[in-house]
Structure 1
């Protein structure tokens, strides 16, 4: 398969791509934040988009009163169905005493026809009494469902974080949450800690401070993805319309922490709790899961998921979850497993390890990634690998993820380019011929 390379951005600033969903629905625009290094969201104040045919830059949002302590913005994604951009936004009152952090961030959306008009998506309420549908902390790495209606994200709880400072039995444990359309109103605390939300949020992965060794209990849920564009088919033939695959940290029989693949099946209504539970949490407990959520462990591997940080990915039909692990030679490869469990299949057979996150082409045929200082694609069924860019030096190596356009004809990725004695993160495109 032949691709031609083009540098899209050139100005002396960062153009940092999220790991997925950076193309507008019509593939005319690519969204990014202005970081010039990984991390650094707290000190970054702008979200922009670049026009794919022309390279024209259009600003979308700037934070107010940006300092090195926050608020900060980053990790921008496009809805797959409408011209709306979603990104991390630090809490608006960030300062030296209360800087940007895991429990101090939320999700904000901008419609591209209404730049600089932020819509707070997930409500936040850290003032008792807490509010069902609002969370109490930091939301991160937001991903749209295939129909553009729901959003998944990782979550850290501010109330648990504060409690852990006085109670050693409590920890702020990262978990997974989702939100669905539905306005949530919370009390105005007068300090910009709380905010209303356009969506109703709920936790969908159960975590515990002390997982039992050898059990399916986890103390961290992270780096998730929606399963399929419309869910997946269960082993009994029925269809699960909404489900999320994620990495969960378990303890093996030796009490060592390893990450395994988990799946959470999600009901169409997440607004109701099981009897005795509290979706909003309490002053001493994290929010409970909605009624009908079912969490399952999918893999039982000797060494668990391994490699660079990556989000799980699934084929559009929902039949296969991809993740990374070491092969018998210790090389990081891509593997696949059904959301129903069962045998694990190896997808890539490279002589070198994968260097960053993975993505699946819209038709489900290829997985894209950076490896051996190049952009690669590999056929998920054929296992044939294709190097799409020359092997770069450590000075001009592609990094991060290679992200597909919605029509599958373009891959976008980042590379650092020197300009005026300094290197800047620029966006490059690979277009299929």
Structure 2
């Protein structure tokens, strides 16, 4: 297959790990940070993959930066991205606990997550920074990772990364606003549970991250019933020998919006001494017990479920210490090794829109792992330098895959066409 270079301007173009295609599959969205590790992009754009037409979606002002943009799966002109603080200063500048999500739609900008950092805290608001926002398949709910300003003021280690969601229940208004506090369009809650000092050998975790929605319509549980809403994420456990071991966890989420208002043992909105807590009835469940191997943290990847919700894909080393693609059921059980090669999987991955296959970088090539045929299908020629690891993203129609290469010191966006076997 011939790959096509989509962007050509002499600047960096950064794709997010998923949801970078417009709903109609015609355009790609990205930010313009000057380097992968620098969050200093001033705007987010989209480019039509056939015509090359570039459209600026949004430009920040007052010294703020924006990036990590994702596209609504059903609506063409609707996006969400990270927004840094306006008028940053020594006390409040861009950091993991000083950022928010914004929804961009038809030229309008709407803050997603309300922020309340002074007690009494507000139900439905958060107290810090949200990151890598992912729409559910319908696009009405959004997941993200979260860091807490209030706990970080106490001690850096008390700001444990968690997974949170934004619900279209009702907008959240923060009363008696202090500087840096703001309202939000969605009702937000933390859904993971972390512990400052996990007990060795237990299911307690110190961090929750790299989450993914389960299925387009949830999954079928062990009782044969449909669990409509669920998220999988990586949780950092501690082994009996005291080592950090990333494992896979899942939380089943209620359908009813009002259920998210009922507190469990700790307040949903948090206190001055504790993080915001999951609502009552949300219990995280451990799926993998890797005997110390752990989910691979490099290459960085996000857990991604098959569209039908039957399988969660992840990366983990095999017995020969080679990073392979694995899958596991949301109901648990033993994980199944998918790839069997002699080369490490080198990137994040995404599923075919109908669940036929998974695409990623292997042996410096964009490849497809076909689940039905149990085989690797190379799509690009092997090059001396691998495509970039952060994003290999299948289009909604299954006909193209988007990825990035470093060309002449700049990160450029490419696409490669798949075989007709994978077109939807």
| Range class of TM-score, shorter chain | over 0.9
Is the CA contact 2:264–2:279 (under 8 Å) kept in the aligned structure 1?
A: no
Q: CA deviation at 1:38?
A: 1.6
Which aligned pairs between 1:414-433 and structure 2 lie closer than 5 A? 414-418=404-408, 423-433=409-419
Cα distance change of structure 1 residues 142 and 108 upon mapping to structure 2, 3 Å threshold = same
Mean alpha-carbon deviation: is it higher for 289-298 or for 313-322?
A: 289-298
Question: 1:88 maps to what in 2?
Answer: 82
Q: CA deviation at 1:372?
A: 1.7
Query: Distance in 2 between the 1:142 and 1:7 partners?
Result: 27
Question: 1:214 maps to what in 2?
Answer: 201
2:171 to 175, 178, 183: 183
Question: Deviation string for 1:86-130 (max 9, x for gaps)?
Answer: 00111223224422101001101111x32xx31101111112221
Question: Deviation string for 1:191-233 (max 9, x for gaps)?
Answer: 3x11111110000000010111111000000000000001000
Question: Deviation string for 1:279-304 (max 9, x for gaps)?
Answer: 11111111111122121000101211
Q: Which runs of 5+ in 2 are unaligned?
A: 420-424
Query: Distance in 2 between the 1:295 and 1:184 partners?
Result: 26
Mean alpha-carbon deviation: is it higher for 29-38 or for 214-223?
A: 29-38
Which aligned pairs between 1:253-272 and structure 2 lie closer than 5 A? 253-268=240-255, 269=257, 270-272=259-261
Question: Deviation string for 1:232-274 (max 9, x for gaps)?
Answer: 0000101100000000001111121100010000112253123
Question: 1:408 maps to what in 2?
Answer: 398
C-alpha RMSD over aligned residues? 1.5
Question: 1:14 maps to what in 2?
Answer: 12
Q: Which runs of 5+ in 1 are unaligned?
A: none
**Residues 1:107 and 2:112 aligned together:** no
Secondary structure at the counterpart of residue 393 of structure 2: strand
Q: CA deviation at 1:55?
A: 0.9
Cα distance change of structure 1 residues 171 and 54 upon mapping to structure 2, 3 Å threshold = same
Is the CA contact 1:231–1:240 (under 8 Å) kept in the aligned structure 2?
A: yes
Q: CA deviation at 1:353?
A: 0.5
Query: Distance in 1 between the 2:24 and 2:303 partners?
Result: 25
Question: 1:195 maps to what in 2?
Answer: 182
- Matched residue count: 413
Query: Distance in 2 between the 1:234 and 1:364 partners?
Result: 19
Question: 2:122 maps to what in 1?
Answer: 131
Secondary structure at the counterpart of residue 76 of structure 1: strand
Query: Distance in 1 between the 2:263 and 2:119 partners?
Result: 21
Q: CA deviation at 1:275?
A: 5.4
Q: CA deviation at 1:35?
A: 1.7
Q: CA deviation at 1:383?
A: 2.4
Is the CA contact 1:8–1:426 (under 8 Å) kept in the aligned structure 2?
A: yes
**Residues 1:44 and 2:24 aligned together:** no
Question: 1:382 maps to what in 2?
Answer: 373
Q: CA deviation at 1:278?
A: 1.5
Is the CA contact 1:188–1:194 (under 8 Å) kept in the aligned structure 2?
A: no
Question: 1:156 maps to what in 2?
Answer: 147
TM-score with structure 1 setting the length: 0.92
1:286 to 275, 300, 316: 275
Secondary structure at the counterpart of residue 374 of structure 2: coil
Question: 1:367 maps to what in 2?
Answer: 358
1:56 to 32, 53, 57: 53
Is the CA contact 2:322–2:342 (under 8 Å) kept in the aligned structure 1?
A: yes
Structure 1 runs (4+) deviating above 4 angstroms are none
Query: Distance in 2 between the 1:381 and 1:259 partners?
Result: 29
Question: Deviation string for 1:394-419 (max 9, x for gaps)?
Answer: 3x74442210111111100011222x
1:121 to 86, 109, 112: 112
Is the CA contact 1:273–1:289 (under 8 Å) kept in the aligned structure 2?
A: no
2:236 to 246, 249, 254: 249
Q: CA deviation at 1:334?
A: 0.5
